[in-house]
Structure 1
C-alpha cells in the first residue's frame, strides 16, 4: 500500500506477511455505497500501485476477504497505521486520518466484483505466441559458455539481462512482465528460462535465440514456479485462485489444475512449489492448511524408484483417498498428502530430498518431516523469522550443516543435519534475506537486507563459522543477493537501487573486478548452478 511505483518484490515471506497470519476468522463487512466509493478512492490513491487493480495483487499480495479470512480486522488497521517490520509495507498514520484508515480496512474485507476464477480454458485463451519455436535455430546464436550464463532480473524497469559469466558482458536485455517473483527457472538443458510474475503470467525465453517465445496467464496472483527434472512439466503455485497449475513446457498448455484443499475440503493459498529431483516429484507448500503435498510427475504410471525405495503412488492414493478423482489408470499428477503439526510455508530440503525442514510464521521452531514416512522426526528451536528458502549447506568438521539467514533477527543459524541440533548462531549487523556460497568456495556470503545497515554484506568462513570480512559495496544503498559463477571463482552482487549496479568480486581475494550500472538489479541466476542444484544456491 504505497504510491511508490517500484517496490522490491522479494518473497512470499515478506510482502505476503503484511496481510497473513494464523488468526481467527473476521466477521463479514458491510459498507454503504457512499462509503465504498470513498474507500475505493483511498485505495486507488494509496494502495493500488502495489496491491493491484480490484485488489487482486501485484507487487504486494491480494487484499480480499478470501485471503484475509484468518486475519483480524483490528490487526489490519494496525498494519496500515504502523506498517510492517521487515517488509515493504509503509506506515500511513502520518498521511491518513484514523477514520480513513478504518475505511480502508473495512474496504479490503468487502467482496470484490472482479472474478476470482481462472480456469484451464482461461489459461489456454490467454496464450501469446511471439515466435514459432519450431522455426528457430536449435543452436546458440552467439559465442559463450552456455553453462556459465546468468539471468539478472532488473526490477527498476521490469527488465532482465542475459549475462556472459566469463566476460561479464550483456548478451541481451529484454522487457519482462510486471513484478517478477519467485526466481526464474531453467530447462534441464539450459536453453530455456521461465519467469513468473505476481499477476500470474508465465513467460518462456529462448536463451539460444535471445527471444521471448510464448506466454500464458496461469492465475490471478502467483507465488512461484518449478520445473520437473525431465523438463516436461512446469508447476505454478498460486494465491488466487487457491490452486496449482501444471503446464506443458513445450507449448505452455495447461495439463492439470488442482484446487488447493485439504482432506476436509478447506481451501488454502499455495505458498511455494518445488522440484524434488531424486523423487521425480513436485513438493507443494500450503499456507492455510496443515498439509504438505507431494505430486509425482513420472511417465512410468506413478511408480517411483529411488535409493532402493519403490513406491506405487496409485495404490497408496486409493488406500488413503489422496484425490477423489483418482479412478482412471492413466490419471496424471496424483496428490500425496502429508499431514503437519502446524502451517508450514517456508521450506528447505536435505540434499537427498528425504527430509523437509519447514517453519511456520507464528511458531518458534522448525519441523523436520521425513517425506518417505510422512512423519515429523525432529523439532528445531528457530526463533525470529528464519528464511529457510535461502538457506545453504556445506561440510563442517566432517558433518553436513545447514545455515539460514533470519528476516527478523540479526543472526545466521547453523544446524547439524544429522541430529538437527543448532551448532551456532552467527551474529550479524541486522536481519538478512539472502545467503549464498559455492562448493568450491571457502566462503558463504549473507546480506543485512533490513535495517540501517542494509548496505553491508558479511563474508563467513565456512570452516570456522566466523565473519572474516564485512563489505560495503555502495555505501548508503541496499546490497543484497549474491550468486557465484559456474566454477565458483567470482561472485556477483546486487545494489538494489534505481541507480544501482551489479558488482563482480573475486571470490578468493574479495576484491572488486567490475561494476555494471543497472536499474535495481535483484536476483542473479547462473545456468549451471541452478540446473545442477549447486549446494551454495537456492533451489
Structure 2
C-alpha cells in the first residue's frame, strides 16, 4: 500500500502552460536503497520539455511544481529527511508507470486506463519523475502588464442588458481541454456564447452584481466576461501567474456600495502569490508573495501556493488560503486605493485546499486535506474557531449547507480518500463544530470532488469523480436532507460512454441540478451536460454538441454571486 500512497492524489483538473524552457537534466548515481544500482535515466531536451508539460497538466496540482508534495506526497528522486515515502528513484520506472496507469482507490485517477495518457506518455512521465524538478521563475507587475488587454473599455460597455434573457440564471460551463467557457441560458437551455478563455479553466466566479464572470485557468490567465452584452463576450484579460486555481471579487457593499465589482483577486500556484486587480479592467494593482513557514514544523516553503479564496459579504475582506504553510490570510482591501493592504495571518493546518461559508456567511470552513481535517474560521472575530477531524482527505468544493430537523444547520464535505460524507453542526450549542453524523457511499474508496444542495431543495447531491472504479466514476448519489438516507443512485446514460460524472450545480430556482459528463477531448459523443429534476430525480434533458468538449465546472450566476451551495 505504501507504493499506492506514494503517487497519491493527482486531481485531474490540474496545472497549465508554463512557458519556461529548461534543458535535460542527467541524474546522479543512485541505488534502490539495497545496494543495487538504480536504472540509468536520460531524457533529451525535447523529451524533458514535453514531460514537464505533462506533469504540470496532470500531476503538479496535488504534488506541487517542485514535487515536495501537498494533497499527494512528494515525488522527488531522493526522499526528503523524515519522509515516510521512498524516493522515485527507489521506486523505479515500472512501479511508477503502474500507478499512473491504474490509479488508486484513494483518489489518484487512472490516467492510462482512461486513455487520457498514452503508454508512451506514461513512460516519459515515469522517467521524468526520477530527475530533479525544474525551478520556478519569478513574475512581476511589468510581466503582467505586458499581457493585460482591455478589449472593451468600461465607458463603451452597455448600461443595461442588451438582450431579453434572464442573465441571472445563465450557467457558465468550463470546456476544460478546449480552453473555452460556454454560456448557457438556464431557462431555455440554449447555447448563448462561447468565449476563448485559456487552458484548463478551473473556476468561474461572479461579480458581486452578477453582471460579470471571472474565469481563471491553469495557465494563470484571468478573463472578464460581460454577461450584459449580446452575445456575452470577454472584455478584458491578463496573465497574472504561470499557473493558478482561484479568483474572487469584492463582495462587500460598503456604506455607499462603493466596493461592488471594484476589485478582483487572483491566487497563484506558480509563482506563489496573490494579485489584486481592478475589478472592471483587470489592471494589476499589487502583488503579495505567500512564501513562508508552515504552522507545524516551521519548515520554509518557497512554493506556498494560494488554494481557495472566498469574499466576505459582511466586511471588506478576502479569505486567502495558503496551501503548504497552513496559514489563512484575511486580506483587507478597503485601503487599496490608498496603496494599503492589511493582512491578518491565522495559523490553521496543512495543506489547505478548498472550502466555503456556513449558512450565516460569518464562518468559513476549509479542508486541510493532508491532515484529514476541516478548519473553521470566524471571519468577524478574525480567529480560528475550531479544527475538526472529518475523514481521509476532505474535498468539499464549497461544501453544502442545509437544515436537518434533528441536528439543525449542517455543513457537509465529501472525501477523496474514503467513502464518507461528514456532516458538521454549525448552530451554537454543545454540538457546534462537531461531526454529528457520517453518511456512507456504496463501494470501496473515496473520489468525491463536489457536494451540493440548495435552500429550496431537500436533496444533497454527491459525485465520485476520482474513484478509480469506472462504475463509481459514472455514479451520482442523492441523499434526503431530512432523513439523511441515500434515496437514489443515478448513472450517466450508457449512450454517453467513457465519461465520469463531475460537479453539481443547481439552477437559480433550485429545482434543477446540472451534472457534467466529462469524457474524452477527442470524442464529443462522450461529453454532455445532464439536467435532472431535483424533485423527481429524473433526467429531463441532455445537452450535447461538437462544441461541448470536456465539460467540468458549471456555475450559475445567481448562486455563485450569492454563495449558495
What TM-score, normalized to structure 2?
Answer: 0.76
Q: Establish whether residue 386 from structure 1 lines up as the match of residue 394 from structure 2.
A: yes
Q: Find the residue that maps to 1:345 and give its secondary structure.
A: strand
What is the CA distance between 1:412 and its match in structure 2?
1.3
CA distance in 2, matches of 1:76, 1:347: 32
- 1:468 to 1:486, Cα distance in 2 relative to 1, 3 A: same
CA distance in 1, matches of 2:279, 2:450: 29
Q: Find the residue that maps to 1:250 and give its secondary structure.
A: coil
The number of residues matched between the two structures is 474
Higher mean Cα deviation, 140-149 or 377-386? 377-386
Q: Which of residues 140, 151, 158 in structure 2 aligns to 1:119?
A: 140
Residue deviations 1:315-345, cap 9 Å, x none? xxxxxxxxxxxxxxx4422111112354433
Q: Find the residue that maps to 2:563 and give its secondary structure.
A: coil
Residue deviations 1:14-50, cap 9 Å, x none? 6679xxxxxxxxxxx9748xx99725444345x3453
Match of residue 474 from structure 1: 493
Match of residue 104 from structure 1: 128
Work out whether residues 13 and 346 of structure 1, in 8 Å CA contact, stay in contact via their aligned partners in 2: no
Q: Which of residues 255, 265, 268 in structure 2 aligns to 1:235?
A: 265
- 1:141 to 1:60, Cα distance in 2 relative to 1, 3 A: farther
Match of residue 43 from structure 2: 38
Higher mean Cα deviation, 445-454 or 432-441? 445-454
Work out whether residues 150 and 524 of structure 1, in 8 Å CA contact, stay in contact via their aligned partners in 2: yes
Q: Find the residue that maps to 1:38 and give its secondary structure.
A: coil
Higher mean Cα deviation, 121-130 or 351-360? 351-360
Q: Establish whether residue 193 from structure 1 lines up as the match of residue 217 from structure 2.
A: no
Q: Establish whether residue 178 from structure 1 lines up as the match of residue 199 from structure 2.
A: yes
- 1:60 to 1:100, Cα distance in 2 relative to 1, 3 A: closer
Q: Establish whether residue 401 from structure 1 lines up as the match of residue 407 from structure 2.
A: no
Work out whether residues 262 and 291 of structure 1, in 8 Å CA contact, stay in contact via their aligned partners in 2: no
Match of residue 20 from structure 1: none
- 1:191 to 1:49, Cα distance in 2 relative to 1, 3 A: same
CA distance in 2, matches of 1:242, 1:149: 33
What is the CA distance between 1:375 and its match in structure 2?
4.6
Higher mean Cα deviation, 480-489 or 242-251? 480-489
- 1:346 to 1:131, Cα distance in 2 relative to 1, 3 A: closer
CA distance in 1, matches of 2:333, 2:287: 14
CA distance in 1, matches of 2:458, 2:65: 47
CA distance in 2, matches of 1:195, 1:213: 12
Report matched runs for 1:303-314 at 5 Å.
none
CA distance in 2, matches of 1:408, 1:99: 26
Match of residue 459 from structure 2: 443
- 1:160 to 1:428, Cα distance in 2 relative to 1, 3 A: same
CA distance in 1, matches of 2:532, 2:455: 17
Match of residue 67 from structure 1: 66
Work out whether residues 14 and 58 of structure 2, in 8 Å CA contact, stay in contact via their aligned partners in 1: no
Q: Establish whether residue 527 from structure 1 lines up as the match of residue 540 from structure 2.
A: no
Q: Establish whether residue 290 from structure 1 lines up as the match of residue 326 from structure 2.
A: yes
CA distance in 1, matches of 2:536, 2:553: 23
CA distance in 2, matches of 1:362, 1:104: 25
Q: Find the residue that maps to 1:174 and give its secondary structure.
A: strand
What is the CA distance between 1:294 and its match in structure 2?
0.4
Match of residue 54 from structure 2: 50
Report matched runs for 1:334-483 at 5 Å.
334-373=342-381, 375-397=383-405, 399-418=408-427, 419-430=432-443, 431=446, 432-449=448-465, 450=467, 451-452=469-470, 453-475=472-494, 476=497, 477-483=499-505
CA distance in 2, matches of 1:501, 1:442: 25
CA distance in 1, matches of 2:64, 2:490: 44
Q: Find the residue that maps to 1:118 and give its secondary structure.
A: coil
- 1:522 to 1:444, Cα distance in 2 relative to 1, 3 A: same
Q: Find the residue that maps to 2:171 and give its secondary structure.
A: strand
Work out whether residues 16 and 61 of structure 1, in 8 Å CA contact, stay in contact via their aligned partners in 2: yes
Q: Find the residue that maps to 1:121 and give its secondary structure.
A: helix
Match of residue 234 from structure 2: 212
- 1:519 to 1:103, Cα distance in 2 relative to 1, 3 A: closer
- 1:65 to 1:192, Cα distance in 2 relative to 1, 3 A: closer
- 1:98 to 1:348, Cα distance in 2 relative to 1, 3 A: closer
Q: Find the residue that maps to 1:439 and give its secondary structure.
A: coil
CA distance in 2, matches of 1:62, 1:502: 25
Higher mean Cα deviation, 67-76 or 412-421? 67-76
Match of residue 514 from structure 1: 541
CA distance in 2, matches of 1:191, 1:155: 23
Q: Establish whether residue 158 from structure 1 lines up as the match of residue 179 from structure 2.
A: yes
Residue deviations 1:230-251, cap 9 Å, x none? 2111111112211111100121
Q: Find the residue that maps to 1:184 and give its secondary structure.
A: strand
CA distance in 2, matches of 1:391, 1:89: 25
Match of residue 312 from structure 1: none
Q: Establish whether residue 257 from structure 1 lines up as the match of residue 262 from structure 2.
A: no
Work out whether residues 193 and 205 of structure 1, in 8 Å CA contact, stay in contact via their aligned partners in 2: yes
Match of residue 514 from structure 2: 492
- 1:149 to 1:364, Cα distance in 2 relative to 1, 3 A: closer
Match of residue 19 from structure 2: none
Q: Find the residue that maps to 1:188 and give its secondary structure.
A: coil
Q: Establish whether residue 129 from structure 1 lines up as the match of residue 150 from structure 2.
A: yes
CA distance in 2, matches of 1:186, 1:65: 28
Match of residue 6 from structure 1: none
Work out whether residues 226 and 274 of structure 1, in 8 Å CA contact, stay in contact via their aligned partners in 2: yes
What TM-score, normalized to structure 1?
Answer: 0.79
CA distance in 2, matches of 1:157, 1:390: 25
Work out whether residues 63 and 108 of structure 1, in 8 Å CA contact, stay in contact via their aligned partners in 2: no
Gaps of 5+ in 2: 1-8, 16-24, 29-39, 78-85, 252-259
C-alpha root-mean-square deviation of aligned residues, in Å? 3.3
Match of residue 314 from structure 2: 278
CA distance in 1, matches of 2:88, 2:357: 33
- 1:193 to 1:481, Cα distance in 2 relative to 1, 3 A: same
Work out whether residues 461 and 504 of structure 2, in 8 Å CA contact, stay in contact via their aligned partners in 1: yes
CA distance in 2, matches of 1:342, 1:197: 24
